[in-house]
Amino acid sequence: MEKNKKLVEQITSMEVDFAQWYTDVVKKAELADYASVRGCMVIRPYGYAIWENIQKNLDDAFKATGHENVYMPMLIPESLLQKEKDHVAGFAPEVAWVTHGGDEKLAERLCIRPTSETLFCEHFAHIVESYKDLPKLYNHWCSVVRWEKTTRPFLRSLEFLWQEGHTVHATAQEAIDETIQMLNIYADICENVLAIPVVKGRKTDKEKFSGAEATYTIESLMHDGKALQCGTSHYFGDGFAKAFGIQFTNKEGKLQYVHETSWGITTRLIGALIMVHGDDNGLVLPPRIAPTQLMIVPVAMHKAGVIEKAMELKEKLAKIVRVKIDISDKMPGWKFSEYEMKGVPLRLEIGPKDIEQNQVVLVRRDTREKMFVSIDELETKIPEVLEDIQKSLLVRARVAQQEKTYEAQSLDEMKEILDSKTGFVKAMWCGSLECEEKVKEVAGASSRCIPFDGDVTSKTCACCGKEAKHFVYWGKAY
């Protein structure tokens, strides 16, 4: 037997060890590989193709709403990072410092960008002069570095890929509208492309971004009941503008500070895709984001005409779906497992008997349902089935989220729920930091968000019993 023959090996069951299952899927589906620097990863072709699809959807939505892409430097001088005090306090402890260029020690150390607010602010101060220059609606695709202690591929890594939007506006209202618009774009792409249901809302002051007046978020629930922050959108008011001197002359000829926003989504979404849709056979990808939507596996390839017919189908179907064919000399069973592991939404099997009967077998990845379909009907049937998979995955994820969403009236109840289950706990909150910290300490949950469409389930705070101000989703988070 060949020395290194690759087999589709069993992965850990998600019920046995969810964390190990996750790592197995990342590795076996060939999404990422470890690199020699702790916490950094190589994003492999299949993982990167998913990211390219996420990028394409976001980039189109950004451009359709008037945003332009720019590129900001990767290095930030320490003095620039320090210009806004809340911001530097939040990020300085977790940046990587460059102290030498070649053999030369630098006069001032530089950090690798953990986020680019300070760079954008410096640039805006250069280019914004008049109200005619506003708004500036910029976006930046790049990687950032944060010196995290505990890391996991896609979910939390020293370096990750993301986009960060940064905009400046003449009025506070325009900036707030922008913040909400971008959050809605994120939510729309999560739900309608990634089939990941999200709760839209606002972060508490404790959980908001360093330097922001308000942080809005979309939160989703993973298969294990832990919450994942999928994207955030920040309203800065004129705090950064004052720290960096970003002023413009308004229509009346007076100098004013701009109002600013930033918003970002990261490769973490690939982690969400794995943990929301995956199963014990591996990844399950929604068709709209899948690099390959249909995989053709010819059966009994040595029989006359099989490969030819399969190739002919591939050519024809390439016009309507992202299709690949596997005519390698591996066994069909190996191929079935391999493309299930990779989460390809639909498999098409075709063998000599099928050809005789002018049919193929379609197998759905989500339900593993088999269908015999006439070759003449493929061009209508395949898009229909893909559409159905897309919708079913969202419905299934919504049901799972609802099943793992609980309600509590008291801290004891929160603790009781979270001691035995993992999920969202909805409870009222008075708005004090003390209660927020107590919930964390006693029930082990942080506030995920104050949802836009929250109910009022009680008039009193579940923690202290005083008057409730907010309806909050609490949970254990990644």
The residue ranges that bind a second copy (CB under 8 A) are 2-6, 33, 35-37, 40-45, 48-49, 51-52, 68-77, 80, 92-104, 109-110, 112, 119, 122-123, 126-127, 129-130, 132, 138, 142-143, 145, 147, 158-159, 161, 249, 253, 328
Determine contact, residues 47/160, Cβ cutoff 8 Å.
Answer: no
Q: Per-residue b/e over 377-403, b at no fewer than 16 CB within 10 Å?
A: ebeeebeebbeebbeebbebbeebbee
Half-sphere exposure of 437 (CA within 13 A, CB side): 5
To a second copy, the closest distance from the beta carbon of 17 in angstroms equals 24
Based on CB atoms, which residue is closest to a second copy, 292 or 447?
292
In the complex, the smallest distance separating the C-beta of residue 49 from a second copy, rounded to whole angstroms, is: 7
User: What's the token pair of residue 45?
Assistant: 């072709």
Query: Residue 331: how many CB atoms within 10 A of its CB?
Result: 9
Nearer to a second copy by C-beta: 46 or 478? 46
Q: Closest approach of Cβ 32 to a second copy, in Å?
A: 9
Distance from the first to the final alpha carbon of the chain: 43
CB-wise, 48 or 406, nearer to a second copy?
A: 48
Distances from the Cα of 434 to the Cαs of 285, 424, 430, 463, 469, in angstroms?
Answer: 42, 20, 10, 9, 14
Give 69 or 357: the residue with its C-beta nearer to a second copy.
69
Within 8 A by CB and 6+ apart from 244, the residues are: 83, 84, 118, 121, 122, 124, 125
CB of 46 to a second copy, least distance (A): 9
Q: Nearest to residue 29, comparing CAs of 53, 52, 45, 40?
A: 45
- Minimum Å gap between C-beta 395 and a second copy is 32
Residues in contact with 30: Cβ distance below 8 Å, sequence separation at least 6, in sequence order: 44, 45, 46, 47, 342
CA distance 84 to 244: 8
Show Cβ contacts of residue 461 under 8 Å, excluding neighbours closer than 6 positions.
428, 429, 430, 432, 435, 467, 468, 469
CB of 457 to a second copy, least distance (A): 41
Min dist CB 308 to a second copy, Å, is 22
Residue whose tokens read 């390839």:
301
> Which residue, 44 or 415, is less far from a second copy as judged by CB?
44
User: From the CB of 295, what's the least distance to a second copy, in Å?
Assistant: 16
Of 283 and 439, nearer to a second copy (C-beta) is 283
> CB-wise, 27 or 226, nearer to a second copy?
27
Which residues fall within 8 angstroms of residue 123, CB to CB, at 6 or more apart?
Answer: 72
Cβ proximity to a second copy: between 78 and 407 the closer is 78
- Closest to a second copy by CB, 76 or 321: 76
- Which alpha helices (H) appear in 260-376, and where do they start and end? 268-277, 306-317, 332-341, 352-356
Smallest gap from Cβ 131 to a second copy, in A, equals: 9
